[in-house]
Amino acid sequence: MLRKNKLIGYEKGDLAINGYVVAQVPNPPLIVALIAMVASWMLADGTAGYLIARAVLYMGLTIWAYLELAEGVNGFRKLLGAGALIWIVFSLKNELG
């Protein structure tokens, strides 16, 4: 059983500091993105499997970032979503040339 204290709290898989949620159990789009990232590491660059894995990675991250921005539980989570969307745009710009 997890012990609660005034500074750090655990509730339903969330890690909160002073009542501010800073970490959560990953949601499905993020899990899919992480699996796709691992798959892309295992595949050779330029192959069809690699390109599909990278596409799934960016789609999963984009959905996760949008959900954080639109429905985040606090300002930190919304800022995290906005930052991730900006990072995704610049990453795709570099990957697509």
Phi, psi of 14 (to 5 degrees): -100, 140
Contact of 33 with 61, CB cutoff 8 Å: yes
**According to the model, what pLDDT value does residue 12 have?**
63
H helices of the chain, where? 28-42, 48-71, 75-96
Please name every residue paired with 16 in a beta bridge, in sequence order, or none if there are none: 9, 21
Of residues 2 and 95, more confidence is placed in 95
In the chain, what are the domain boundaries?
Answer: 26-96
What tokens were used for 4? Answer: 């609660």
Tell me the three state secondary structure of residue 10. strand
pLDDT in tens, 7-60: 555 556 677 777 777 777 788 999 999 999 999 999 999 999 999 999 999 999
pTM for this predicted structure: 0.79
